[in-house]
Structures are given as C-alpha cells and as structure tokens.
Chains A and B, each alone.
Chain A
Amino acid sequence: MNDSKDNKRILVIEDDTPLRKVLHDKFILEGFHVLEAKDGEEGLATALSERPDLILLDIVMPQMDGITMMKELRQKNEWGKNVPIILLTNLSADDEKINRAIADNAPAYYLVKSSYTINDLVEKIKERLS
C-alpha cells in the first residue's frame, strides 16, 4: 500500500508457517518490504546476503536456533554486529540464557508473541526503525 516508507526491509525468521505468513501480510500492508526464512541457517544466509533493516527472530527453530544465529551474525561483520534484532518467541522472559543473550547482543529486543497484538508489534518495529 504505502511503498514510500523508504522500503524498509524486514527479515522474518520463523519456522511456524501460519505465523510467518500473517507477519508477512501485515508488514506488506504496513508498507514494509518483507523477506522470509524458515530456520536459523536460512535466516543467517538471507540476512548476510540481503542486509535487511531489521530482523524478527524466533528462538526455538530446527537446523539452527535463534540465539545461535544471532551470535553468529554478530560475529560475522560490522553490519551483522549492528543490525537491530527483535527476538520473537514464546519462551518466558525470566529464562536467564535469553536475558544474557539479549544483553550480550545489543541492539536486541525481546517480545513474547502471545502477549502482543500484531498491531503493537508493528508499533514496536516502527519505533526501532525510526
């Protein structure tokens, strides 16, 4: 609809197809350019080749999980070190491993999927991109 939003590009890395699809549709409606990946391995490759403006990253995924992918990406190059990542998961926030990963891999954020409306999620993304 609104393609003039500088065509900000979002990479959605999520193994659950219905969720990936609904995020894709919503972001298109909001005028973003959307890239998709089904697991950490595919996500890492797409991220490095496409260099999106922001990455939405699920944690529990086959092949390579989100935390591992984030760590690898941060070590790859200067761009990988700085791209904002929003961890989108259904694990709980008091998981120490996740908290540490977020602290160690800034700029990284954390959202519990089922506690967010898709609208709030879009707001959060816009906030990070502005």
Chain B
Amino acid sequence: MNKKTIISASDDIVFNLKVLAKEKENIRRKLAVTAKEKERATRAITNVLEDLKIKEESLIEINAKEEAILLSIGEGLLATDEKGNIILINKIGEELLGVKSKEIMGKIFFGVIPIEDEKGVSIPPQKHPISMVLETGNATAISTYYYVRKDKTRFPMAIAVAPIVLDFKIIGTIKVFRDITREKEIDKAKSEFVSLASHQLRTPLTSISWYTEMILKGDVGQVTSDQKKYLEEIYQGNQRMIELVNTLLDVSRIELGTFKIESRPTDIIKLAESVLNEQKVEIEKNNLIITENFSKNVPIFSTDPKLLRMVFQNLLSNAVAYTPINGKIEFAISFDGKETVRIKVSDTGYGIPKNQQNQIFTKLFRADNIRDKDVDGTGLGLYIVKSIVKNSGGEIWFESEENKGTTFYVSLPSAEMKEKKKKDTT
C-alpha cells in the first residue's frame, strides 16, 4: 500500500465518520422530537383525564345538589314510580307523616298515606290523588283531605300531585304536601266572627226597619210626600244591609259546614214561580221580558227547598240586575226523565268579560264591566250558588259574551241519587 492509497483510505474513513456523525445527530434530534411529542401527548391525556375528573366531580356535586334541593323543600315531598311505589321522601315529609324513609321506600303509597275526608270517611286507594294522577296524567291539587297518623290523630293536608313525565311517558308521580291546620283554624275563626257579627247586626237593623215601616205607614202621624221619599230611601238602604247580612251568614254557614241539607219532596216549579214573583217589581221596573219554560214532566223532586230557593234567587236576581232595560230573560226547568233536573237562566245582559270568566265563582269577585254600572252586588251570590250546587252533587256552568248576555246551566241530581252516588264511590 503506498502512502497515497493510505491517505485516500483515511479520507474515506473520515468522510464516512462524518456521515455517521450527521446521521447520529439526526437520530438524536428525531429522538428528542419524539420524546417531546410523547411528553406532550402524555400531558394531553393527563389533561383530558383531569378534565373528566373535574366534570365527574361537578356532576356528582350537581346531582347531590339537586337531591339536596329536592329534599330540602320546605314542604313535604314524596315521589312514586309509575306503579305507585314510593321512591323518595324528604325530611319534612317524614316529619309530617311520622314515618322513616327506610321503612317506606319501595312500598305502595296508599298503605303509607291513609287519608280521609272532613267527616272521617277514608278515601279509597283509587280515589287517592296519586292514583288519579297515574290514571289521568293530569296534575291535581286538593286541600279538603286529612292525613291520619299511626296514632289515629289527623291533620288537614294540602296536597298537590303532578305526574313525572320522561319521553312522553309517565314514569311516576311527585307529591308536595303540607299541614294546613293553622289556615283552617284562621278560616274557621273568620267565619265564626262573621257569623257572630252578623247576628249582632241584625238587631239594630230590625229596629230601623220596623220603626221606619211604622212611620211610612202613618202609624205615628201623617208624613209629607217629601219626607216619605227620604224615609223610603232609609228603608231601602236598610233592606240592603239586611240582605247583605243574610248573605254573609249564608257564606259563613257554608264555610263552617253548618249548612244542613234537609231534603224533602219539593215542587220545584212552584218554588221557581214564587222566586219569580219576588223579583216582579224589579222586572217590571226595567221592562224586562221574562220567558218561563217549565217542562210539564218535572216531578215532585227530592231536594232542599231552602237551598234550591237560594240558587234560583241568585241566578234570577243576577239576570235581572245585569240586564239593561227592555232586555229578555229566559228561565227554564226540565227533567231528564230519570233523576236529574236541568235549570237554565239566560239573559241578554252585560255579560261577563272573557278574561274574567274563570273568576266568576270566586268569593267577592265582581267583573269589571259591572263595577262601573250602578248595580249593587256583593260578589257572593255565585260563590254561594256554586257551593250549594256542589254540595248537592250537581254541576253548574255558563256561557257568556260581553254585551250579548249570559246563560247559566245547573244540573241537579235528586237527593236520593246523590246519596247513592256517594255510596258507590266509597
């Protein structure tokens, strides 16, 4: 090997070594990049995991919060599944019912929540609000039932039950309830006060009425025609007070539940005619045309004549009071051939505004359109009528258009029929 050859070979080696070094450097760089990428990937995964964990934690927290919100509601809360088995009760619910969540979970509701009506007649499972909601799918609210505790004491309960709907399917019910003993007591005290005050009011009103009547009759000397006019105003004003007191007494009796329904065979047509007769003066004064449509087949009917008279009086006097001069009133009574009497009182009067029609049976409510007309009213008449009709097992409804007129319909079952119905349902 000559020197030249050796130099050339070493050059080759050097060259090769340089190439190798470059490649090594390349690999090193690549490795560094890969490591960086790996680190980044790891960090990314960790981040995702962390995010997930945070999400999960917050979900758990939200769930817990929602449950806490649900369970902390200041009223009794109870939920059932679609079969009526209890799946949830909150603390207040436990306290109100005097039960422990553990004891009642998964149990059918009616064994756990026995309720009865005011008179102590227990409500059968199928009439229980929860059953009704499961059956009809409509929310319901009722405040006339009493919950019976294990020790047989009871308290009045306001109950609101709604269906739990998921994907258009009822998957259960949720019931909110509370003790309304205090509300009931206040209501009773109020009614008792009205009753007492009204009785006290009647004595001086009677004095005014009788003395004025005697003066007007000339029992204590002649009165001039001017004096007579004034005295008549006093007398009429006093009569209105007497009627108002009577109405208040009726309302308090309805609310105290001291209204005794005393049914007896009643000639409804005769009763209707006598009420019409009472209104005659007003009818003639306003030149109203009355049409009587009393069916021939209306039998002697078992009902409370005192209460039915009040229904007639209120519906008719409303028609008379709220129909302008020269208007028409129809008073119709018919019989379905079995056990129900239908009453219809229609007028061509002021009507009830559409947006207030849902309030018309509310106590003390008077529609806006008659407030500014010079017509007396207490806002109690239809409330009384509705209470009587409801207590008699009947129904009342109406159609009305402003400035065209109003028609009231009442369907009234005979007293025997009502008793029978009551027996069937309990």
Contacts and interface: CB of A to CB of B under 8 A. Distances in A.
B34 to A, nearest CB: 100
B138 interface: no
A90 interface: yes
Interface string B239-257: 0001001100100010000
B260 A22 contact: no
A26 interface: yes
B30 interface: no
A16 B199 CA distance: 13
Contacts of B210: 19, 22-23, 26, 117-118
B412 to A, nearest CB: 19
A127 to B, nearest CB: 19
B5 interface: no
Interface in A70-119: 90-94, 96, 112-115, 117-119
A18 B205 CA distance: 11
Nearest to A22: B210
Contact of B209 (A25, A91, A93, A114): A114
- Interface SS majority for chain B: helix
B240 to A, nearest CB: 12
A19 B208 CA distance: 9
A114 B205 contact: yes
Contacts of B207: 16, 18-19, 22
Most buried by B among A16, A90, A93, A119: A90
B422 to A, nearest CB: 21
A130 to B, nearest CB: 22
A115 B203 contact: no
B213 A90 contact: no
Contacts of B253: 92, 94
The size class of the interface chain A forms with chain B is 20 to 34
A90 B206 contact: yes
Contacts of A114: 202, 205-206, 209, 242, 245-246
B246 A115 contact: yes
B203 A16 contact: yes
Contact of A91 (B199, B211, B246): B199
Nearest to A58: B203
A93 to B, nearest CB: 8
A29 interface: yes
The size class of the interface chain B forms with chain A is 20 to 34
B206 A113 contact: yes
A113 to B, nearest CB: 4
Contacts of A113: 202-203, 206
Contact of B258 (A18, A26, A94): A94
Contact of A96 (B199, B206, B209, B260): B260
Contacts of B206: 19, 90, 113-114
Given A16-B207, A114-B205, A114-B206, A119 B245 contact: no
B202 A94 contact: no
Nearest to B217: A119
Interface in B211-270: 211, 213-214, 217, 219-220, 242, 245-246, 249, 253, 258-260, 262
A13 B205 CA distance: 19
Contacts of A92: 249, 253
B199 A90 contact: yes
Contacts of A25: 214, 219-220
Nearest to A23: B210
Contacts of B306: 93-94
A22 B219 CA distance: 11
A112 B259 CA distance: 17
A16 B205 CA distance: 12
B214 A90 contact: no
Nearest to B262: A94
Nearest to A121: B210
A40 B304 CA distance: 34
Contacts of B258: 94
Contact of B213 (A19, A94, A112, A117): A117
Most buried by B among A23, A112, A114: A114
Given A18-B207, A19-B203, A118 B260 contact: no
Nearest to A94: B260
23 contacts: A16-B203, A16-B207, A18-B211, A19-B203, A19-B210, A22-B207, A22-B210, A22-B211, A23-B210, A26-B210, A29-B219, A90-B202, A90-B206, A94-B258, A96-B260, A113-B203, A113-B206, A114-B246, A115-B242, A117-B209, A117-B213, A118-B214, A119-B213
Interface of B: 199, 202-207, 209-211, 213-214, 217, 219-220, 242, 245-246, 249, 253, 258-260, 262, 306
The 7 A-B pairs with the shortest beta carbon distances in the complex, nearest first, are A90-B202, A114-B202, A118-B210, A18-B207, A113-B206, A22-B210, A114-B206
